[in-house]
Amino acid sequence: MMTLKVNGHDHQIDADPDTPLLYVLREDIQLNAAKFGCGLGQCGACTVIVDGKAVLSCITPLLLLEGKQVTTLEGLGTVETPATIQRAFMEEQAAQCGYCIAGMMMRAQALLQKNPKPTDAQIRTELEPHLCRCGTHMRILRAVHRAAHLMQTADASPVQRSAQ
Amino acid sequence: MKKSGIIGSVLVALVAGGALAAFAIAWRPAISAIDPPAPQSFDPALVKRGRELAAIGNCADCHTVRGGRDFAGGLQVPTPFGTIYSSNITPDAETGIGSWSEIAFRRAMRSGVARDGQHLYPTFPYDHFTNVTDDDDQALYAYLMTRPPVRAAARQNQLPFPLDRRVVIAGWKLLFLRLGTVEPDLNQSAEWNRGAYLVEGLAHCGACHTPRNALGAERTSARFAGGEADNWNAYAINSRSPSPVPWDTEALFAYLRQGFHPDHGTARGPMAEVVSNLSSVKESDVHAIATYMAGVFGAPTPERKRQGDEVLAQAKFSSSPVALTDAAGAAIYAAACATCHETSRPLPYGGVNLALSTPISAPDPRNLVNIVLSGVRPVEGERSPIMPGFAGSMNDGQIAALVGYLRARFSNQPAWTGVENTIADARRTQTVFLQTSAGPANAPADPTQRDKR
């Protein structure tokens, strides 16, 4: 039994310490935003945030997460009140099949937390580990820029937005 | 004439003589500018040979920034003395070498002097390039002058006074630049001599693999004893090599040619670009380099050979962990590393058995920490080894535990000290790790194809 902190809640997990975080998120806690893509840490679909950093959950065993704070896409916003990054991706219609998008958003979120005004080149470099086979890369780039812009303005809060 | 007058005259003569001598040492004339020669004026066969030579010389690695235009320069090269930026060696007349004649190019290669007579910093390894023959310089010139010209002005070097005065370099050359250091050895084979010519000259292996003295020159008494490159250890490649299994000609050839060898693992870090280049040149040249370097490594002592054989035998059967000195490290290894490193998937797609890993047996943990943090990124346009990095998922304590465990289990060397400092330092510089570019492979050698990129 170990305690795993996910999206601000403590979860008691009964799993082997070498179990990948992704399996625990999807199967034990039913948080299905993070996707299984390659299982080798090479496609980015499983990306979540651990203590502010983007992490590939398919190759991160539970034992590395003692005392750390895990954030998944579900922890950022909901359908009713999407987080800024989610709103920006929707407004730019950045998803086609959508399989890579949760991972893309998580790494973009981690980037914007440490660098609120990234350049085009910085976004490209940061998102390089993420594969998108539909080819919506240009929309994804625009969405990250839009999120950066929204986060700079009062318009960013989803609460304010729903009040409009 | 009074006595004081005589002394005065002698002093004046001495000062004037000294100034004249200093002038003779430091001053080099400008060579007249030319109009950039038409690409069609070069023999395509010569250009093609120049392409291979430029690959052996790894020119693009320093003269191209990641994502930038080939050979347009601008790469930041940190040195203990300050930051130097690589120059634009495309044939742009104003910002590149378009106005350089072949004579000016050869002078730069041979003695580190720019066309306008300015001394070049030895970051440009002319202490090796001085050994390149006129014929090879001619081919390199033909290749570079047929690349697409790129307008990119040189960036200002950041060096403290007096190192920002290029005249200082003349003194450095006086101390350290030796012309013609490769003499053919008639007791050795033609292949060995070819290898010596390439290794000591154009390939400039010692620039990274030989330690440098306080003035930044290679220590001739410690040739190939291990140096540094871009925050990576460039291992000793002589009898002091830390490799668990001794190198021989065929292993060196395979490693340099295909980028990995089953008994040694894969070439990554700054060496990735080198092996990528060597995969595109004449096989015989790579074999010549391997032959010469095998001589530099020397035949292993019987004891070293026995140890190597033992490691190889042990690596075939994944042994159960010996005394668990570090349970936390062992658990991390089992959960995060063993799934790839203990499968029998062959290289380069499976992980190397870590008993064969040079970083784990090396004198310093830097390369191991670099790889754990950043992993091994796929190279664009190539089949290449991959490994995810763990910078985000492991904290410093977890990495230290893992590194300590790997050292204890997979090497017969004493524990490292100062691992925490290495980890902190590696995290700081991590962003520049493992940068690889496809290099000049995209640049067609045929000058008539230059616009079809």
What is the distance between the alpha carbons of residues B138 and B46, in angstroms, rounded to a whole number? 8
The DSSP secondary-structure symbol of A9 reads: E
What is the rounded CA–CA span in Å between residue A63 and residue A67? 10
pLDDT at B321: 53
Q: Is the pLDDT of residue B328 over 70?
A: yes
Q: Are B227 and B219 a contacting pair, CB within 8 Å? A: no
Burial class (CB in 10 A: 0-12, 13-18, 19+), A49: buried
Q: What are phi and psi of B70, to 5 degrees?
A: -55, 130
Contact assessment for residue B159 and residue B84, using Cβ atoms and an 8 Å cutoff: yes
Tens of pLDDT, residue by residue over B188-204, are 999 999 999 999 999 99
Residue of A nearest to B338 (CA): A18
Q: What is the pLDDT of residue B2?
A: 65
- Is A125 a residue whose pLDDT tops 70? yes
> How far is it, in rounded angstroms, from Cα B272 to Cα B61?
10
Q: B436 CB contacts (<8 Å, ≥6 apart)? A: B272, B273, B276, B377, B379, B380
Rounded average pLDDT over B341-350: 81
Please tell me the predicted confidence (pLDDT) of residue B181: 78
ipTM comes to 0.88
Q: What is the mean pLDDT of residues A114-132?
A: 94
Average pLDDT, integer, range B339-353:
83
Asked whether residue B29 carries a pLDDT value surpassing 60, the answer given is yes
Nearest CA in chain B to A65: B393
Residue of A57, A60, A65 for testing the chain B interface, max B β-carbons within 10 Å: A60
Tell me, what's the pLDDT at B145?
98
Chain B residue closest in CA terms to A41: B388
A116–B contact, CB cutoff 8 A: no
Q: Identify the contact set of chain B against chain A, taking CB-CB distances under 8 A.
A: 67, 331-332, 334-336, 375, 377-378, 386, 388, 391-395, 398
8 Å CB contact of B392 and A53? yes
Judged against a pLDDT cut of 80, whether residue B330 lies above it is answered with yes
Contact: A56, B388; criterion CB under 8 Å: yes
Q: Do B393 and A55 touch (CB under 8 A)?
A: yes
Return the bridge partners of A3, or none. Answer: A12
**Minimum mean pLDDT range among A137-151, B225-239, B286-300, B322-336:** B322-336
Are the CB atoms for B310 and B244 separated by under 8 Å? Answer: no
How far is A91 from chain B, CA to nearest CA, in Å?
29
Residue B412, amino acid: N
Q: What is the pLDDT of residue B318?
A: 58
Mean pLDDT, residues B29-40 taken together: 96
B386 contact residues in A (CB cutoff 8 A): 40, 42
Report strand pairing: A47-50 vs A69-71.
antiparallel
The CA distance from B391 to the nearest CA of chain A, in Å, is: 9
Question: H or E element: which one contains B414?
Answer: none
What domains does chain A contain, in order, with CATH numbers? 2-75 (3.10.20.30), 84-159 (1.10.150.120)
| pLDDT tops 60 at residue B451 | no
User: Mean pLDDT throughout B404-428?
Assistant: 95
Confidence class of residue A153 from pLDDT cuts 50, 70 and 90?
confident
**Structure tokens given for A66:** 């003692």
Tokens coding B372: 């754990």
Q: What is the mean pLDDT of chain A?
A: 93
pLDDT tens-place string over residues A63-91: 999 999 999 999 999 999 999 999 999 99
Whether B278 and B55 have beta carbons less than 8 Å apart is answered as yes
**Beta strands A9-13; B76-79: pairing state:** unpaired
Check residue B439 and give its pLDDT.
Answer: 34
Residue B228 DSSP SS3: strand
Structure tokens at B292: 């010469």
The position carrying tokens 């904290």 is B395
Q: How far is A49 from chain B (nearest CA, A)?
A: 9
In the predicted model, what is the mean pLDDT of residues A81-110? 97
Would the CB atoms of A17 and B335 count as touching at under 8 Å? yes
How many CA within 13 A on the CB side of residue B70?
Answer: 24
Average pLDDT over residues A54-58: 97
The CATH architecture of the domain made up of B317-432 is Orthogonal Bundle (1.10)
**What pLDDT sits at residue A154?**
61
Res A30 pLDDT > 70: yes
Pairing mode, strands A2-6 and A69-71? parallel
The two structure tokens encoding residue B97: 């070498």
Q: Which residues on neighbouring strands pair with residue B387, listed in sequence order?
A: B376
pLDDT digits (tens, 9 = 90+) for B392-411: 999 999 999 999 999 999 99
Smallest CA–CA distance, residue A163 to chain B, in Å, is: 37
**Please, which pLDDT band fits residue B86 given cuts at 50, 70 and 90?**
very high
Task: Please tell me which of A52-61, B7-16, B180-189, B308-317 the model is most confident about, judged by mean pLDDT.
Answer: A52-61
pTM of the model: 0.88
Averaged over B144-153, what is the pLDDT? 97
Half-sphere exposure of B280 (CA within 13 A, CB side): 24
- Which of B332, B336, B392 faces A54 most closely, judged by CB atoms? B392
Provide mean pLDDT across the span B203-215. 97
Inform me whether the pLDDT recorded for B316 exceeds 90: no
Instruction: For residue B410, give Cα distances in angstroms to B333, B361, B400.
Output: 12, 8, 15
pLDDT mean over B285-296: 98
Three-state SS annotation for B238-272: CCCCCCCCCCCHHHHHHHHHHCEECCCEECCCCHH
Burial category of B140 from C-beta neighbours within 10 Å (exposed 0-12, middle 13-18, buried 19 and up)? buried
CB atoms within 10 A of CB B164: 13
Q: Are B386 and A42 in contact (CB under 8 A)?
A: yes
Please report residues of B whose CB lies closer than 8 A to that of A120.
none
Looking at residue B1, its pLDDT comes to 54
Q: Do B393 and A121 make contact, defined as CB atoms within 8 angstroms?
A: no
- Selected for mutation to probe chain A from B393, B396, B399, B427 (highest A CB count within 10 Å) is B393
pLDDT at B319: 57
Q: With beta carbons under 8 A apart, name residues in chain A contacting B67.
A: 121
Q: Which two tokens stand for residue B391?
A: 């910078």
Give the pLDDT of residue A159: 44
* Separation CA A143–CA A147 (nearest Å): 6
The confidence score (pLDDT) of residue B13 equals 76
Task: Provide the residue count of chain A.
Answer: 164
In this structure, are residues B233 and B362 in contact, taking their beta carbons and an 8 Å threshold? yes
Would you call B332 and A63 a contact, using CB atoms and an 8 Å cutoff?
yes
Within 8 A of A64 by CB-CB distance, chain B residues are 332, 335-336, 393-394, 398
CA proximity to B68, closest of B430, B435, B382, B431: B435
DSSP B336: I
pLDDT, average across residues B52-77: 95
CA–CA min distance B206, chain A (Å): 32
Lowest pLDDT segment from A132-146, B315-329, B359-373: B315-329
Instruction: List CB contacts (< 8 A) between A130 and chain B.
Output: none
Q: What residue spans define the domains of chain B?
A: 39-177, 317-432
Helix (H, G, I), strand (E, B) or coil at A53: strand
> What band does B435 get if pLDDT is binned at 50, 70 and 90?
very low
A-chain residue closest to B435, CA distance: A125
Task: Measure the CA–CA gap between A136 and A127, rounded to whole angstroms.
Answer: 13
Q: Answer yes or no: do B67 and A60 touch at CB < 8 A.
A: no
What's the average model confidence in pLDDT over B16-35?
Answer: 87
